[in-house]
Amino acid sequence: MSNLARIYPHDRVTLREVGLRDGLQLVRKWPDTDEKQQWLTREHAAGVRHFEIGSFLPAKSFPQFADIGEMISAVAALGDAHSAALALNERGLDDAMQTAVGEIVCVISATEDHSQANMRRSRADAIELVRKAASLRDAHAPDKIINAGIAMAFGCSISGDVEPGEVIRLAEACLEAGADVVGLADTVGYAGPHQVGAMSKAMARLCGERPFSIHLHDTRGMGIANAAAALDNGARVLDGSLGGLGGCPFAPGATGNVVFEDLVFLCETMGFATGIDLSALKQARAIAEHSMPDEAFYGALAKAGPPANLKWSA
Amino acid sequence: MSNLARIYPHDRVTLREVGLRDGLQLVRKWPDTDEKQQWLTREHAAGVRHFEIGSFLPAKSFPQFADIGEMISAVAALGDAHSAALALNERGLDDAMQTAVGEIVCVISATEDHSQANMRRSRADAIELVRKAASLRDAHAPDKIINAGIAMAFGCSISGDVEPGEVIRLAEACLEAGADVVGLADTVGYAGPHQVGAMSKAMARLCGERPFSIHLHDTRGMGIANAAAALDNGARVLDGSLGGLGGCPFAPGATGNVVFEDLVFLCETMGFATGIDLSALKQARAIAEHSMPDEAFYGALAKAGPPANLKWSA
């Protein structure tokens, strides 16, 4: 079996917990390395295997990710877990190649306006970074997975509506540039389930047996409904963050990523076994809540617990 | 056009705001009549037309509904709005018949265990109350709509799994007893979207052009996903409560009804025009929050607002 098919088996659902990366991107206070590692190990004990744990960015600007090397080692030490981290420029790529990180995530904007405003580069340049990542990987670290995440894929806070065909063309360009996995992100929570379902179907057609991922934000309450639509239309890799940590850079005070705990429950109701123990996940949440007392933690499952008397409950 | 088709046109979605009933059922402090009427008029100004405003219950035990007569009059005064209220016994039915309430909601439990524990009567007796309601209506108030709500229709906090065929048989029995509308309630938030989709499809088959309603709780975060599945499978009448008020009698501290604001947004993303202005709805929420400062108000849309630059936004 190829490394890709081993990490993302296409016959089951993979849930990526991105709280340690996307969840910490906007916070003013973050857990120290020891607390992050407790968060990680408790989630691992609950059955989580995929962790996005940081970004390769200058520690001066993003001190919450200064311990990225230690976090990668902590995931590697778990033996059966997979780490992913963002690399947003060549410097980040070079740094990533020096580590044991399992997956390098490059980011492309779906719209030229957002690409210029957010990244100060064109979409074409962003795709060239994916090509660079794949070529470095081929030369130095053949086991690493290259993931190209398309931000604003369902609507853009600058450009508004995003043409689905354009997103698919960008996804195709990322694959052609050497990406193993393409992800679509509803960065600002504009999407509804019909839109996510249609895009997932188009991605499934484009990618075949290759994985593609769907990264949803719950900014307008559609997170779980959109995840259900994605699963119903062939998506098998979904992101979520513990307690819905993450916020929205364009809507201060808004809810963040789709809530990981509720996402697990959703999958179980839909017949996708996650291998994740919802009760055990509460211990990871307790660590995160304790280390960030000023952050809002979301999610209904954490308040109510799983139904005690249903036959499928985890 | 029949009265039923006028109140519940089958070619569009009807959203019932149940905050003034289900939302106030468990609270310790509730808005006074003036505040309730402000809540009502501001929602009406935002475009809401269906209000569940109370239960015909002894004022001694349920003082929050002591002003039900005034609330019915307040809805009637709006001219183009529809009021609904629960009647749980013969006394309640008799009281309801004396008022201008537009719709009387009787409740049946999906399981015999819950029926006995919660209502101290059999399901068969509950269906007889529906028959009584329809017969009183025929004799005294032909314009009133009789609604039979089936609680625990997707899983029961006492009996666990609920057999879908049994729910459909109960729904059929309610129609046979004279109900105009049958509602299925996920009282304790056990359902996932596949289950809600399948039940909605079965109800659409059973009811034909008659309306049926879906009443969802967000106890485990599935509320909006379940609403999307209901809409995708033929449901056109959905309940929600402002700010997700309502809680769960079997899970203290849990989230309540599906959030009305998010439900409006969901419908708009799915191409169902609601006629409801999400920004104006915030004023109704402000009244409710002000009158119940100790209650948790949920919902992502209220934090983030609708997307400013999408073509379909309300």
Flag whether A295 is in a domain: yes
Tokens (6 digits) for A203: 């991605």
Flag whether A312 is in a domain: no
Tokens (6 digits) for B127: 């269906």
Distance from CA of A95 to the nearest CA of B (A): 36
Q: Do A222 and B259 touch (CB under 8 A)?
A: no
Residues of A in contact with B305 (CB under 8 A): 251
Tokens (6 digits) for A147: 């993931």
CA angle A256–A262–A265, rounded 5-degree value: 160
Q: Do B265 and A225 touch (CB under 8 A)?
A: no
Phi-psi region at A310: left, alpha or beta (left = phi > 0; alpha = psi -120 to 50): beta
Residues 6+ apart with CB under 8 A from A167: A110, A150, A153, A184, A199
pLDDT at residue number B181: 98
Question: From CA B120, how far away is CA B164, in angstroms rounded?
Answer: 23
Residue A223 phi, psi dihedral angles, 5° rounding: -50, -55
Q: Pick B248's closest partner by Cβ from A268, A304, A311.
A: A304
- Residue B292 DSSP SS3: coil
Flag whether A311 is in a domain: no
pLDDT at B314 over 50: no
Q: What is the pLDDT of residues A94-110, one digit of tens each?
A: 999 999 999 999 999 99
What was the ipTM of the complex prediction? 0.95
HSE of B275, CA atoms in CB hemisphere, 13 A: 12
The number of distinct structural domains making up chain A is: 1
The torsion angle over the Cα atoms of residues B2, B5, B7 and B9, rounded to 10 degrees, is -160
Flag whether A310 is in a domain: no
Binned at pLDDT 50, 70 and 90, residue B313 comes out as very low
Strand-pair partners of A98: none
Residues 6+ apart with CB under 8 A from A144: A96, A97, A101, A102, A103, A104, A137
Helical residues (DSSP H) of chain B, grouped into ranges: 3-7, 33-46, 68-77, 90-97, 112-114, 123-140, 164-177, 193-207, 223-232, 260-269, 278-291, 301-304
Tokens (6 digits) for A166: 């354009």
Q: Do B269 and A195 touch (CB under 8 A)?
A: yes
Distances (CA, A) of A192 to A252, B132, B231, B268, B270: 21, 42, 13, 9, 7
- Local structure of residue B167 (DSSP, 8 states): H
Residues of B in contact with A255 (CB under 8 A): 300, 303-304
* Residue of A156, A174, A207, A248 with catalytic role: A248
pLDDT at A314 over 50: no
Q: Pick B225's closest partner by Cβ from A224, A299, A304.
A: A224
Q: Pick B222's closest partner by Cβ from A248, A254, A266.
A: A266
- Three-state helix/strand/coil letters over chain A: CCHHHHHCCCCCCEEEECCCCHHHCCCCCCCCHHHHHHHHHHHHHHCCCEEEEEEECCCCCCHHHCCHHHHHHHHHHCCCCEEEEEECCHHHHHHHHCCCCCEEEEEEECCHHHHHHHHCCCHHHHHHHHHHHHHHHHHHCCCCEEEEEEECECEECCCECCCHHHHHHHHHHHHHCCCCEEEEEECCCCCCHHHHHHHHHHHHHHHCCCCEEEEEECCCCCHHHHHHHHHHCCCCEEEEEHHHCCCCCCCCCCCCECEHHHHHHHHHHCCCCCCCCHHHHHHHHHHHHHHCCCCCCCCCHHHHCCCCCCCCCC
Under 8 Å between Cβ of B274 and B232: no
Nearest CA in chain B to A154: B310
Q: Do B193 and A262 touch (CB under 8 A)?
A: no
Tokens (6 digits) for A48: 């989580």
> Once rounded to an integer, what is the mean pLDDT over residues A128-142?
97
CB atoms inside a 10 Å sphere around CB B77: 12
Q: Do A310 and B189 touch (CB under 8 A)?
A: no
Q: Pick B310's closest partner by Cβ from A155, A229, A299.
A: A155
> Could you tell me the CATH number of the domain that includes residue B287?
3.20.20.70
Q: Pick B225's closest partner by Cβ from A188, A261, A266.
A: A266
Nearest CA in chain A to B229: A225
Q: What is the pLDDT of residues B20-45, one digit of tens each?
A: 999 999 898 999 999 999 999 999 99
Question: From CA B137, how far away is CA B124, in angstroms rounded?
Answer: 20
Cα B129 to the center of its chain, rounded Å: 19
pLDDT at residue number B1: 66
> Once rounded to an integer, what is the mean pLDDT over residues A234-244?
98
Distance from CA of B300 to the nearest CA of A (A): 5
Binned at pLDDT 50, 70 and 90, residue A1 comes out as low
Tokens (6 digits) for B13: 């979605």
Binned at pLDDT 50, 70 and 90, residue A5 comes out as very high
Binned at pLDDT 50, 70 and 90, residue B79 comes out as very high
Interface test with B, best of A111, A195, A269 (most B CBs within 10 A): A269
The answer to whether A248 is a known catalytic residue is yes
Distance from CA of A139 to the nearest CA of B (A): 44
Q: Do A190 and B222 touch (CB under 8 A)?
A: no
Flag whether A309 is in a domain: no
Q: Do B155 and A188 touch (CB under 8 A)?
A: no
Cα B294 to the center of its chain, rounded Å: 23
Interface test with A, best of B217, B262, B267, B269 (most A CBs within 10 A): B269
Q: Do A269 and B193 touch (CB under 8 A)?
A: yes
Question: From CA A237, how far away is CA A242, in angstroms rounded?
Answer: 16
Binned at pLDDT 50, 70 and 90, residue A170 comes out as very high
Please give the interface size between A and B, counted as residue pairs whose CB atoms are below 8 Å apart.
156
Q: Do B190 and A222 touch (CB under 8 A)?
A: no
Q: Do B251 and A189 touch (CB under 8 A)?
A: no
pLDDT at residue number B253: 85
**Residue A166 exposed, middle or buried by CB count within 10 Å (0-12, 13-18, 19+):** middle
Residue B15 phi, psi dihedral angles, 5° rounding: -110, 125
Cα A240 to the center of its chain, rounded Å: 6
Interface test with B, best of A267, A282, A303, A312 (most B CBs within 10 A): A303
> Once rounded to an integer, what is the mean pLDDT over residues B278-284?
93
Q: What is the pLDDT of residues A245-304, one digit of tens each?
A: 998 877 888 899 999 999 999 999 999 999 999 999 999 999 999 999 999 999 999 999
Flag whether A189 is in a domain: yes
Q: Which of B104, B134, B109, B106 is nearest to B123 (CA)?
A: B109
Residues of A in contact with B307 (CB under 8 A): 155, 157, 160, 188, 190, 220
> What whole-number percentage of chain B has pLDDT above 90?
92
Flag whether B310 is in a domain: no
**Residue A272 exposed, middle or buried by CB count within 10 Å (0-12, 13-18, 19+):** middle
Q: Which of A194, A213, A193 is nearest to A203 (CA)?
A: A213
pLDDT at B138 over 60: yes
Flag whether B312 is in a domain: no
Interface test with B, best of A219, A224, A311 (most B CBs within 10 A): A224
pLDDT at residue number B169: 98
Question: What range does the domain containing B291 cover?
Answer: 3-304
pLDDT at residue number B248: 81
Q: Pick A304's closest partner by Cβ from B189, B301, B311.
A: B189
Residues 6+ apart with CB under 8 A from B50: B14, B15, B16, B17, B81, B82, B84
Nearest CA in chain A to B271: A194
Residues of A in contact with B164 (CB under 8 A): none
Under 8 Å between Cβ of B203 and B234: yes
Strand-pair partners of A160: A156
Distance from CA of A297 to the nearest CA of B (A): 12
